[in-house]
Structure 1
Amino acid sequence: MINLIIFLIILGIMLYLMIKSKIGPFYCMLLASVAIGFACGLESSNTINTIVTGFSNTCKSIALLVIFGTVIGIYLERTNACQRIAKTLLNFIGNSKSSIALAITGFVISIPVFCDVALVLLSPLIKSVAKRSGKNPCALGTITACSLLSTNAYVAPTPAPLSVIAVLGLDIGVSILWGLPVAAFVTLCIWVFGEFYLGRKPDSWFTQLEEEKLKNLQDSIEDLNDNEMPSFLAAVTPILLPIILILLSSIGGQFLPKDSSLLAILKFLGDKNISLAIGIVITFLLLAKFLPEDKQYTPLSDAFKIAGPIIFITAAGGSLAAIVNATGIGEFIVTILTASHVPVILMPFLITGFSKFAQGSASVAELLAAGLSLPMCEAGLLTPLEAFLSISAGAAFGSHVNNSFFWVFSEFMGYDSKTTLKTLCVGQNIVMAFSGLFAAIIVSIII
């Protein structure tokens, strides 16, 4: 009990430092790991070894994946592939059903491209579509933004799902196999919210920023010629190919004999690192020609600048999770939960949501929840898949002004904080979070 009290105090200090100081989550989590280890009676050598082991094991699990996924995302961003996907879907579905096209666009694009970047890229298109279709731009923006967040939370190779499954020991193929339909269900719910609730609000219900700021946002998508964008097939292949290879490997493992040559080939091609490496090769072959000749290889090196901080922060979370297990705090929490009447599947959801509310980062919150959920999984109270889906649902809970995505939406869609709170944040905290939790409960019943 004393160790749990110590843990909660240090955890509170860690979250406070994340919010109030400029130390950053990496150092905050490492310092918290050291403090918990020492305060809970671990020997100094054992504390350091546990931190180093947790750090290195997490790096081993996700480092290449994050780097490879970032390379693909940069190519998609810089070659206008994201705009091609959106424009093709809009042309196919039509302006009258533009909200559906934007929901699908967000769902697909956010798998390799960071949400913030994707929303910045798509915001001019959303405004242009709103003008042509007569729909409210904030409603369309909310649908698109939350669709981006749905696959970002549930579908690898985005960093947060990779981090969670690395801590929980969940197979990446299994996570995608269940994460994709759950993310699709969440996207459907957010589309209903945007189309039939926000879309029916009068314009006076939404408060725009100053007109001068809005004028700076150009509908640049309209200025792109077809020869400036790759084909639709070239744009979606780098996104879908790695996922298909991973899924084929997982499905083959269920139905093919273990000594099958075909299974061996599928296992190799569907390895998470190999499939993304193949994705990079395909991406380069299909998209590099749309960049200036002297810029065709720059995404390969630029990816390190983006991927590095993600890898290190995630690995620091792995250290914290290892310390929680080594001190016995995780087992004690499991004992308490076993004796309580709170449904266990709610615990990862609540831990993630309250942590995100306190410090703003969904990735940090998910890492914390994964570390605390691991003992529950090891005790048989939860399966790793149930914990993963509950954590991913909780990533939408607790969203407000301390999250960077809030301000990206506000500035690039051109609406004030009050409007962003009652559109984007309501969509995240109520629609996304609880539809995702509902789906997690349904999956727990099925499996």
Structure 2
Amino acid sequence: MQTIIVFLVGLAIMLFLMIKTKLGPFMSMLFGGLIIGIGSGVGSAATIDAITGGFGNTCKNIGLVIIFGTILGTYLEKSNSCQRIATSLLKLTGEKNASVALAATGYLVSIPVFSDVALIMLSPIIKAISKKTGKAVCVFAVLTASALLCTNAYVAPTPAPLAVASVIGLDIGTSIVYGLVTAAVSTVAAWVYCMMFLDKKPRNFFTSTEENERTEKVESSVREEDMPGFTAAILPILIPIVLIILNSVCSLILPEESLALKAAGFVGDKNIALVIGIVSAILLLKKKLPEGETFGAIGEALKTAGPVIFITAAGGALAKVVDATGTGQMFADALAVSGLPVVLIPFLITALSKFAQGSGSVAALLGASLSLPLIEAGLLNPITAFISISAGSHCGSHVNNSFFWVFAEFFGYDTKTTLKTLCVAQNVVLAGSGLFCAWIVSII
């Protein structure tokens, strides 16, 4: 009980520092991690080890991805590719249906692509379409982010749903079919939330950082002849996505010793795929880049990527500290022996683990492991468990989740705005619609 109380107190102090002071998210999360670790009895040395280990592991996993994604995004912006894509997309759907196009894009792209990477790559397009339609960036950003998270949570070969299906003994093909349907339902729910609720809010509802406010005030009209062709504009985005998809498909159908699998694994690695995307951007877009920006854009992108990496890594450090306290396991054990409706148990185990330690993948695996006895006893259908667990991985999202900081930093919104927009979408809309689908499956 002491550990849970310390965790809640530490989290409350951390949120207070982020929202009410100028300490900033980086120092607030590190300070919160120290409070939670030392207060829970982990010990000062072990707490520091957890902070440095979590920080380092997060940098290792997504540091280069953020840098390469930022560089690619900078080339798209500097060459006016975003305006070309936005213009072509709006011609296809019409301005009234731009939100549908973004939702569909997010839904498809995140099946094989890490959602953080996909959001980074799509962020320039989201901003360009927002400027074109006159709608708040946050509305389209939350919609696209939500669509990315939907298929990321439910559809293999994304690692979390693939692992969950394996643990609970559910056929992968069956999980994909049900996952695609559930993700589609949640994406539609996110569209309703964004367009029927967020889009009706006044502009002062979304609080930007000072830097983003200065950026948003700069308006420019790009002439048609200053834009690259649509093919040249879209290929630097499609090439890494296709390579990552190719790697995922090959890993499912080719034997481990296959030379083709090794080649696909190299070019389809998220870091290498993004580097290939950058090279293609330089070759295809250099004629539309401002003079001196062919390689100068890289330095500018590095300045942007630095703060994003540091803040995201601080979130990883916090998650590692909380994991060391065992708070997530305590929540899970208490729920497993409760008298709650059986369809709720996988959801709540996963949600509370996500709330405690921040990783949706880790939470989903914990939910699968602790739900397995219920499945083996015939109390829970594997398909129902799969959907309930995946829905729970949306819930419990807040500042200790790396996606939170990627969203906040790349779109320039403060902690308070991100909490009341993206986190509401994750914790209420996506989690709720997914749980509803699990309940429907459980009664048919």
Shorter-chain TM range is 0.5 to 0.7
Residue of structure 1 equivalent to 2:145: 149
Offset, 1:155: 7.7
The alpha-carbon distance between structure 1 residues 378 and 331, as it changes in their structure 2 partners (threshold 3 A), is farther
User: 1:123 maps to which residue?
Assistant: 130
Task: Compute the displacement of 1:87 (Å).
Answer: 1.5
Report % sequence identity. Answer: 38
Preserved contact between residue 55 and residue 314 of structure 2 (Cα < 8 Å)? yes
Whether 2:337 is the aligned partner of 1:373: answer no
Q: Alignment RMSD, CA only?
A: 4.8
Where do 1:320-335 residues align within 5 Å? Answer: 320-335=318-333
- Match for 1:69: what amino acid? G
What pairs up with 1:43-442 in 2 under 5 angstroms? Answer: 43-94=43-94, 100-101=100-101, 111-113=118-120, 120-127=127-134, 144-151=140-147, 153=149, 186-191=186-191, 223-340=221-338, 341=340, 342-346=344-348, 368=358, 370=360, 373=363, 376=366, 379-381=369-371, 390-392=392-394, 434-435=432-433, 441=438
- 8 Å CA contact retained: 1:86, 1:101: no
Instruction: Give the equivalent residue in structure 1 for 2:16.
Output: 16
Task: Report the CA distance between 1:56 and its aligned residue.
Answer: 1.0
Partner of 1:6: 6
Local SS of the residue matching 1:293 = coil
Q: How far is 1:64 from its partner?
A: 0.4
Query: Match of 2:292, SS?
Result: helix
Give the equivalent residue in structure 2 for 1:361. none
- Decide whether aligned partners of structure 1 residues 190 and 45 sit closer, same or farther in structure 2, where only a CA change above 3 A counts: closer
- Shift of residue 28, structure 1, vs aligned partner: 1.4
- Where structure 2 has 5 or more consecutive residues not aligned to the other structure, the ranges are 110-116, 153-158, 166-171, 205-215, 373-384, 400-406
Q: In structure 2, give the amino acid aligned to 1:289.
A: K
Cα deviation digits, residues 80-137 of structure 1 (max 9, x gap) = 222211221233345685664565578799935588765543334214xxxxxxxxx7
User: Shift of residue 143 of structure 1?
Assistant: 6.9
AA partner of residue 81 (structure 1): S
Aligned with 1:343: secondary structure?
helix
How far has the Cα of 1:16 moved from its partner?
1.4
Does the 8 Å CA contact 1:115/1:149 hold for their aligned counterparts? no
Go from structure 1 to structure 2 and tell me whether the alpha carbon gap of 1:192 and 1:15 turns closer, same or farther (over 3 Å shift): closer
Relative distance call for 1:208 and 1:307 in structure 2 (3 A) is closer
Distance 1:95 1:335, change over 3 A: closer
Equivalent position SS for 2:118: coil
The CA distance in 1 between the partners of 2:61 and 2:441, in whole Å, is 26
Aligned to 1:132: none
Query: Which one-letter code corresponds to 2:9 in the other structure?
Result: I
Matched positions, count? 377
What secondary structure does 1:22 align onto?
coil
**Cα displacement (A) at 1:14:** 1.2
* 114-123 or 226-235, larger mean C-alpha shift: 114-123
Q: Residues 226, 350 of structure 1: CA spacing in aligned structure 2 closer, same or farther, 3 A cutoff?
A: farther
The separation in 1 between residues aligned to 2:88 and 2:44, in whole angstroms, is: 59
Letter in 2 for 1:79: S
The TM-score normalised by the length of structure 1 is 0.66
TM-superposed CA distance for 1:145, in Å, is 4.7
> What is aligned with 1:25?
25
1:71 Cα shift?
1.0
Q: 1:427 to 1:88 in 2, by over 3 A?
A: same
Contact 1:331 1:375 in 2 (8 A): no
User: C-alpha offsets along residues 11-33 of structure 1, whole Å, 9 cap, x if unaligned?
Assistant: 11111111111111211111122
The 10-residue stretch of structure 1 (282-291 or 11-20) with the greater mean CA deviation from structure 2 = 282-291
1:86 partner SS: helix
Relative to structure 1, the CA distance from residue 273 to residue 303 in structure 2 (aligned partners, 3 Å threshold; closer, same or farther) is: same
Partner amino acid, structure 1, of 2:286: A
| Offset at residue 245 of structure 1 (A) | 1.3
- Separation (CA, whole Å) in 2 of partners of 1:52 and 1:194: 37
2:128 counterpart SS class: helix
Take 2:326 and 2:147, find their aligned partners in 1: how far apart are those partners?
Answer: 34
Aligned-residue offset at 1:65? 0.6
Alignment CA distance shift 1:116-1:238 (3 Å): closer
**What whole-Å deviation, never above 9, does each CA across 1:203-236 have from its counterpart, x for those lacking one?**
xx99799xxxxxxx99978x53332111111222
1:255 Cα deviation after fit: 0.9
CA shift, 1:285, in A, is 1.5
Q: CA deviation at 1:41?
A: 2.2
Structure 1 unaligned regions, length at least 5:
128-136, 157-163, 210-216, 356-364, 398-402, 410-416
Contact 1:67/1:303 (CA < 8 Å) preserved in 2? yes
One-letter amino acid of the counterpart of residue 368, structure 1: G
* Alpha carbons of structure 1 residues 248 and 61: separation in structure 2 relative to 1, 3 Å: same
